[in-house]
Each structure stands twice: as C-alpha cells, then as structure tokens.
Structure 1
Amino acid sequence: MTELHDLDATSQAELLSRREVSSVELVRHHLDRIEAHAEALGAFITVTADQALAQAAEADALRAGHEATQFLGVPTALKDLTSTAHVPTSMGSAIMRENVPTTDAYVVELIRRAGFISLGKTNTPEFGLSSYTDNDLVGPARTPWDPTRNAGGSSGGAAAAVAARLVPLAQGSDGGGSIRIPSSCCGVVGFKPSRGRVSAGPVGSDWTGLAGDGPIARTVRDAAALLDAMAHPMPGDLRPLPDPDIAFTDWAAREPRRLRIACWSDPYLPGIETSASSVAAWEEASRMLESLGHDVVDVVNPFPPELEPQFNVVWSSGMAAAPVPEEAIPSLRANTRYWMARGREASGVELARAIQFLEATTREVLASMNSFDIWLTPTLALPPQPSEWFTESGDPTEDHRRELLFTPFTAVYNMAGVPAASLPLHWTEATPDTPSLPVGVMLAGRPGEDGPLFSLLSQVEEAAPWADRRPPGPWTS
C-alpha cells in the first residue's frame, strides 16, 4: 500500500476530494514524520503543529460543505525568510530569534488562499546569504541522501523536507540559486520563476531584481501547481508580470513544440572546473533532449566573468541595508559580517553602476541568445558537500571562494531575470565510502516564458521519471 507521504500534493488533494482521507489525518501524518525526522535533517526552525491541525479541521469542515479549492487541506511549509503573521520568523539569525511578524508576505496569503496548510518554517542560513544552510539556531540542513552533507542553500530546509517526504512541496526563495542549489543537493524539483512573476509585497522588496519566491516539489506538476497559487501580482509591485493567461499546470500537461536548446557546461568564471558527475548529468540530459526531438547545440558560455564582482556589490549592499542594530553585529555569523562589511564599503554611485552593468550586460546576452528557446547547464559544479567544507578555513573570503567553486552556474539567471529549474536527472554511483548522491541539471527559458519551460520539464520527467526514488535512511519508511 502506498503511504500518504509517498504521494505528491496533487495525489493527496485527490484523496481529500474523494473523502478517502481527512485533512486532519493528512496533516497529523506529516507532523508525525516531522517529529521523527526533522531534527536529524535540520529541516525546520519552527513547527506550527497546533495551528496546522486547527486549520486542517477547518478545511475538513469546508470540504463537508462542498466549499473546497483543489488543494484545500494539503500540507506544505514556508521558508523562515518569509514573513508569516503570528509565527516566529527568525530569518535564520539568532538575533532575530524572538521576531514574530504581524503581517503575512503576500505569497503566504496566496498559498493559504489556495488551501495549503503550512506545518512550519523551514531552515535557512542567516538572512539567506549563503549557498549552504547553517545557522546558530538549529545548525545545518542536511540532504537525506547523505546526512553528513549539506542540503544546500538558502532554501535547504525546504528541499530536505520535501526530499524526506516530511511535506509534499514547499515554498522557497531564490536570489542567486537558493531554490535550485538545494533542489540539486536533495534530488527534487526546484523552479525559479521569471523576474516579477511572484510578488515581494507587502513589506518585502525586490529592488535588486535578483530575488523571488518559487516552488520546491518532487514532481513537475506539483511545482506548477504551487506556482499557480503564487503567481499573482499585488498593487504597488515594482515590476509585476500579469496573471498568466494559461495556468502553469495546463502548460505542464502540454507537449512542447520542437525546441532549439543551447548547452554549455563550463562556468562563466575562470579557474573553476565542473566536476565529472555534473558533466555526466549534463551530457545525459543533452542526449535525452536530442532523443525527444529537440535541436541541441553546444555553445560557449555567453555570460562574461565581469558580472561577478558587480553582482557582489548589489548582493552585499542588500545586507548592508538590513536593519541590524549596531550592538547586534558582533553576534552575527562571520559570513554575514563579511557581506555587511563589503556592502558598507560600496558607495551609492558604485551600487547604481553595478545595477546598470548587470542590466545592460544580461540584456546583451539575452539578445545574442534569442535564437534559442532553452538553455541547458549543470545546476552545480560539485555534488553535495559537507557543511564544514564551506567554513573550515575560518576565513569568510575563503568561504566565498568555495561557494563559487560549488555554484558558478545559478546566479547569472537571477541577473538575467529568466525562469530556471533544477531537475534530479542523475545520481552518482555509490562507493564503499560514499552513498549515491543526486546531481541536478538546469533548464532555463526566455524571460516571462515560465509556461513553455514547464511543458519541457514535464516531457523530461515523463522520459526519465524520478519521483519514486527514495533517499536511504529512516525517513523512507
């Protein structure tokens, strides 16, 4: 018999619709799994069990009255960077341990409006700054495929929770790869939408144009469904995309047309090499896309290395602008203080020039690549790494260098504002010393063309399904 937690959110919603399970039963089942496994994986910072069960009872009452949305009563989780009213939201920082917002992020309101029930706040690094998840609250998030290795960041807790079947899908956010990186490390689907697709309101801001919320799931159809819930602008958004004319779940059910796909596996930064496992995953994906009838063309990485220092000016300025009291700065982690100090060194003129450089340069890249529908690259240059690998030097400058060695592919898509997804298409061979580890590949589309990208993702999933692959360990039972 298939266990409830082995079903994706769409299948769980179907059970609820047929009254074969109640929302209270479904939520309690996942809360029991969180109690049993979340601490070992560092998946959650806060669990909202009482609130979730109360909402599940309300969902069951609405279903009894035939007032149900499709996903009414299905469990999910929210990233601890995301403002959630009356729920502790620490942003991964010990200095924010007691922070309890009074306002929901608009994306939280939309997810709740779609009927999903959050079971808690997932683990994230301090202020979401790093490509690995670790903090002074609950420690690192770990990939269920090998808990000695980090789940990636900054949505590491969300990806670990989805991979370990603690929730069927979860909300994440991505400013430089923070959905796709942990999705690769944990063997799940991570989708970064186009710039402006998901609102940062009412209290958040996307002044950099880099960050946005998106779904993490085990199946493409679930990722599309969660984005359907999220993708609605609110008045006052800085650069909103309108509600899509066609639902992303409908796009995911469509066969894609024949596509022209550009492929590269070399990082845009000199001195960084792509690991053999990442290249193997990319080569397998390239062959698969050709077998599906698409035109696959090898090209030189079109992004210039000059983007990276300008990206750092924008990234660090955001941290420098955070409302952290001066007396609290010594309590921040070394990596956070590093980015804050770099941001404080940048002048307003330097920041304006950096933003203009990112915009002009990525516009030039997009124009030069306009004959291609899709881009294919590895998601990461390395497989999942131990948490201590990132920080063992004790030098934040070295930590940053290692993060670049780990993830030199993802941030350029944030700079360009295009939709991009990591798919779990490859696993390394197990050895006596190392278990099999997931290795993602990344597919990106043109700006605003999230829907056609979902069509391709579904086609790839059908050709090489992954959802039944379970990580070893106690969380598989």
Structure 2
Amino acid sequence: MRAPAPLPEVRAKRASKGAPRLDHVTALHELSAIDLWDALHRRRVSAREVAEHFLARIDADASNAFVTVTPEAALARADAIDAADDRTPVILGLPFADKDLVQRAGVRTQFGSRAREGFVPTVSDPMAVVLDEAGGVSLGKTATPELGFAGHTSSALTGHTTLPGRPDLGAGGSSGGAAAAVAAGLLPFAPGSDGGGSVRIPAAVCGLVGLKPSRGRVPAHSGVGQIGGLSVAGPIARTVIDAALLMEAMLGRVNGVVPHRTTLRSPEHDQGSLLAAAMRGEGRYRIAVLEGTPWDDAVDVVIAQEARDAIAVAVRELDRAGHALEELAMPPLPGYAEVFARIWQFGAASVPFDDRQLSLVEPLTRWLVEEGRRLTAVDVGRAVSQATAFERTIVGAFAPFDAVLTPTAALPPRPLDWYGDDPEGSFQQQVRHTPQTSFVNVAGLPAITLPVHVTAEGLPMGAQLIGRPGEEATLLAIGRQLERRIPWEQRTLARFA
C-alpha cells in the first residue's frame, strides 16, 4: 500500500518548521501522530523504539484502556518494519490497538463479554488486515462494553474504563478503551467503531477528535449489510490531522483506489484528499446550529449549560472565521425512539448466543437480546422502512448546509454508577447523555466531534459537526480551522505529561 499523495507535502511542512522534537525518549508520546510518522519515515527513531515506549506506558496505565496487550507480536512487527526498505505505508510503524470487537487471528478477542471469555479467533477481520497493510503496529486490544451495546465502557469481564486522571468518571463508549488510550498517551491514535455514537461519545468525554465516516465510506467496516446500516469504523486522535491520517489508512487504498466491493459507496475523492483537507483547513461554509433532538417526545432530555457553553464557543469561533451561521430546528421524526430501539434490539438478537452464553451476559445485553427475539419479521421490516424514511428526512433537512452543529453530549462526563443496573433505565440514561449522536448513524451521514470547551471543573465538552454524505473532507477542514483557534491538543498533553 502506498502513501497518499499529500504526504510529500507533509514532509515539506515538517521540514519547514523543524524536525519533530526527539530530545529524550519520553517525548515520543508527546508527538502528534503525523510528527511521529515523519520521524519514523526519516529513521530518526525506529519502530521498535516507538513500540517499546508505548508498551511501557501501557504497563503503567491506570485507566484500564487495554484489555489485552501483545508485546511479543508488536515488537516482531516493529522489527520487520525497521528491516524493510519501503517507507511509504500510510501509517508506517505507528502504534495502534484493535477495539476488542475486532478479531485478530491468534489474539484473544472477548467482545467485552463473559460469554466470549478466552475466545481466540483464527481469522482476522478486514479492519485488522487493512491497518496492518497500511503499516500500523498493533499493541493489543482496547476495552469495550459487552458487544459494544453501551455508550459507556464498563464490563463485568474487564471492569470500568475511566477518563484518564479521573477514576470516578467513565471514559464514554463503546470505543472507551480507544479514547482513554489516546487521551492517556498510550497510543498516538486509535481506531474505533460507531453504531450510535461510539467513536464520538468517548472522544468527546476524553477531550479528543473523533470522526464517524459516512455509511459505505470505509469498505472494511462500512455499515453495508447490517440491518439499519448503523455501525461504521472511524478514527480517534488528539488532532484533526492525526484523525485524517488514520482515516486515510482505514480506507485501505490499493494503488490509490479505495477497493469498494458493494454498489453503495460515498463519492470518490482524489487520492489523499482527506489528509490534505485537514492540513490546509481552508474554506468558508454555511453551517446550521441545530436545536432539539429526535428523542424529545420519548425521553426527558436536558441540554446542560456546559453543553450549551461548548456550542457557544464553537459558534463564536466559527463566526470569527467567517462562516455563515443559521439556526435549524430538528426535523420531526415521529416514532424515532421505538424505531431505533427495535433496530438495536434486533442487532443484539442476531448474536448467536446459546442458553449457557446468554446466562453469562449482563442485564443490558440480556434485555436487548430478549426484546429482539420477540420482534417479528414485520416488526423489523417496519423499523427499517421507517429508519429509511428518517434518513430521507434528515438528509433533506440538512442538505442546504455544509455542516450542522450540535453538542456531542448533552451532559458532562458521567460518574461510573450513573447508568444504574436496570437495563431499560440504563438505555434511557445513555440517551439522556448523548441524544444527538444516534440519528447521524440512522441517516448514514459523516460527523466529527471536536473538543472545543472545558468546564469550570476541568472536564472536556465536545461539539459535533454533521456533514453531507461523503463530505468528510469538509468536516476535517472546518475542524482544523477551529483547532487553530482552540489549541486543544495542549490540554490533552497536560493531562498525561
């Protein structure tokens, strides 16, 4: 796999501002992913040195970001990269970790569930293969709630994953281990998956950038083929450029072409355009500020002042940057709560649990499975048909705008015990925390969360930008403009320095 075209431009930019700082080994985790890539490319540091450094940090982690660490395999992989002449892979020698929903041959993959405890697959999932082909070095598996069904990362098998530096607060979910690992400096970036907010929620909770691509955009985990088409893979990183770099790797280009294997695909862009858009951060756009959520008629949703403050910061800086800002009301989506719940329940019921395994799962999973098994084919068909109608409504309402702005979370990061033990109550608590993420999955649109604000208590609050189908580049460009005005990377660095 060859590096995208803009990478020579990256090298020129790095050279123009001076080589990445490598004055001592502890500086490695302080480098952005793009600067670390540059240092690896120039052989100013070896892939083995990088892997050893991050493995040592994982060893000292207190956030429970990792559930499996694979040092021997990682170092062997790093040595092979160091020995190779080819320096063009997209994420050459950069460490990452697979979310514990992604199977990697020979590596324990437990899906955060006691029902899958000790499972070791013999075949790797496409996303693991794609990131290997892109030159990455997997250090292990990051934590997830059971089967990724929750918006917070707590598991009876692996325990709580917490916001780094705040052991009383959860890291969000379901890609909570990935986000905690990046926020704690255990990885320069990390892949996650997002079926209702599972990249954006933990990224926002941990003060990071998280990008959910359009349905069909990432062939290895596209959403195509699932009932509802909700779940897609996306990157979590400290910076917009780093998120774009990992996104380029996740596309799995072969000779510059994204190898789509279905008829559903997002509009094709020029090679490397996502990274170029993030680096340049150019353009003036029409942006709507959304009021309301699709859950308002079913759940008592309250948008906290901290979330409104985050939007105020984003609006202020977007206005100063010259964008056109307008207000937009959430379009009516009658019955949304029931439709989304049915699709979520059907997804759970599709997991092939036998009676013994079902006896081992947690209350939320059992409730989802049992409710899903009660659904008839007519129930599911109607839910999918209604979700498609919602998609048309949302895409149509948002079409006049280049991006639509919402809070990523309605509330600040949540205490570990906030969701409770009652499964239906826990589901509603998740909705109260993040009522403006799942409808983006239903619509198949791209969205990015940006850590624009910090509360008086020092907690991150994110703003979400939702784009048109296939227009991840626009979101990255706007995100980079905000990043220049709000230097959030320094906040994260300060947390784990």
Task: Please tell me the TM-score bracket, short chain as reference.
Answer: over 0.9
The yes-or-no answer on 1:282 pairing with 2:302 is no
1:213 paired residue number: 233
Task: For 1:154-193, list aligned pairs within 5 A.
Answer: 154-193=174-213
Residues 1:169 and 1:358: Cα distance change in structure 2 (over 3 Å):
same
Cα RMSD after superposing both structures: 1.9
Residue type matched to 1:21 in 2? V
Secondary structure of 2:162's partner?
Answer: coil
Residue type matched to 1:258 in 2? R
1:263 paired residue number: 289
Residues 1:202 and 1:173: Cα distance change in structure 2 (over 3 Å):
closer
Q: Deviations over 1:335-382 (max 9, x none)?
A: 100111111121111111111111112202211332111000000011
Residues 1:46 and 1:304: Cα distance change in structure 2 (over 3 Å):
same
The yes-or-no answer on 1:32 pairing with 2:61 is no
CA contact (8 A) 2:222 2:231 kept: no
1:239 paired residue number: 264
Secondary structure of 1:377's partner?
Answer: strand
Counterpart among 385, 395, 403 of residue 366 in structure 1: 395
Q: State the distance in 1 between where 2:78 and 2:399 align.
A: 47
Residues 1:335 and 1:461: Cα distance change in structure 2 (over 3 Å):
same
CA contact (8 A) 1:201 1:237 kept: no
Q: Deviations over 1:381-431 (max 9, x none)?
A: 11111121112xx3111111111111101001000111001111101113x
CA contact (8 A) 1:144 1:471 kept: no
Secondary structure of 1:457's partner?
Answer: helix
Secondary structure of 2:219's partner?
Answer: coil
Residue type matched to 2:57 in 1? R
Residues 1:30 and 1:205: Cα distance change in structure 2 (over 3 Å):
farther
Secondary structure of 1:27's partner?
Answer: helix
1:402 paired residue number: 429
The yes-or-no answer on 1:253 pairing with 2:279 is yes
1:139 paired residue number: 159
Residues 1:34 and 1:255: Cα distance change in structure 2 (over 3 Å):
closer
The yes-or-no answer on 1:273 pairing with 2:299 is no
Q: State the distance in 1 between where 2:370 and 2:397 align.
A: 36
Residues 1:4 and 1:387: Cα distance change in structure 2 (over 3 Å):
same
2:18 paired residue number: none
Residue type matched to 2:226 in 1? D
Q: CA deviation at 1:198?
A: 1.2
Residue type matched to 1:304 in 2? L
Residue type matched to 2:112 in 1? G
Q: State the distance in 1 between where 2:268 and 2:290 align.
A: 32
Residues 1:314 and 1:229: Cα distance change in structure 2 (over 3 Å):
same
Secondary structure of 1:451's partner?
Answer: helix
Residues 1:202 and 1:181: Cα distance change in structure 2 (over 3 Å):
closer
2:255 paired residue number: none
Secondary structure of 1:262's partner?
Answer: strand
| More divergent stretch after superposition (189-198 vs 225-234) | 225-234
CA contact (8 A) 2:104 2:128 kept: yes
Q: State the distance in 2 between where 1:224 and 1:31 align.
A: 24
Residues 1:303 and 1:472: Cα distance change in structure 2 (over 3 Å):
farther
Q: State the distance in 1 between where 2:134 and 2:55 align.
A: 20
The yes-or-no answer on 1:57 pairing with 2:84 is no
Residue type matched to 1:19 in 2? R
2:491 paired residue number: 469
Counterpart among 296, 304, 314 of residue 325 in structure 2: 296
CA contact (8 A) 1:42 1:123 kept: yes
Residues 1:130 and 1:217: Cα distance change in structure 2 (over 3 Å):
same
Structure 1 gap ranges (5+): 431-435
1:339 paired residue number: 368
The yes-or-no answer on 1:425 pairing with 2:452 is yes
Q: CA deviation at 1:251?
A: 1.7
What TM-score do you get using the length of structure 2 for normalisation?
Answer: 0.90
Q: State the distance in 1 between where 2:216 and 2:195 align.
A: 13
Counterpart among 245, 255, 274 of residue 225 in structure 1: 245
Q: Deviations over 1:173-207 (max 9, x none)?
A: 00000000000110011000000111246999534
CA contact (8 A) 2:452 2:461 kept: yes
| More divergent stretch after superposition (28-37 vs 87-96) | 87-96
2:47 paired residue number: 23
| More divergent stretch after superposition (449-458 vs 406-415) | 449-458
Residues 1:23 and 1:374: Cα distance change in structure 2 (over 3 Å):
same
Q: State the distance in 1 between where 2:389 and 2:155 align.
A: 36
The yes-or-no answer on 1:124 pairing with 2:151 is no
CA contact (8 A) 1:23 1:73 kept: yes
| More divergent stretch after superposition (130-139 vs 301-310) | 301-310
Q: CA deviation at 1:463?
A: 1.7
Q: State the distance in 2 between where 1:133 and 1:337 align.
A: 17
Q: State the distance in 1 between where 2:86 and 2:131 align.
A: 20
Residue type matched to 1:15 in 2? A
Q: Deviations over 1:283-306 (max 9, x none)?
A: 110111111101111121225252
The yes-or-no answer on 1:92 pairing with 2:121 is no
1:315 paired residue number: 344
What TM-score do you get using the length of structure 1 for normalisation?
Answer: 0.93
Q: CA deviation at 1:78?
A: 1.1
Q: State the distance in 2 between where 1:146 and 1:14 align.
A: 32
Q: State the distance in 1 between where 2:181 and 2:417 align.
A: 21
Residue type matched to 2:58 in 1? I
Of all paired residues, the percent bearing the same amino acid is 40
Q: State the distance in 2 between where 1:471 and 1:403 align.
A: 28
Q: Deviations over 1:280-337 (max 9, x none)?
A: 0011101111111011111212252521210111111010010111222111000100
Q: CA deviation at 1:234?
A: 4.9
Q: Deviations over 1:447-467 (max 9, x none)?
A: 111112211111111121211
| More divergent stretch after superposition (319-328 vs 198-207) | 198-207
Q: State the distance in 1 between where 2:251 and 2:89 align.
A: 17
> How many residues get paired?
464
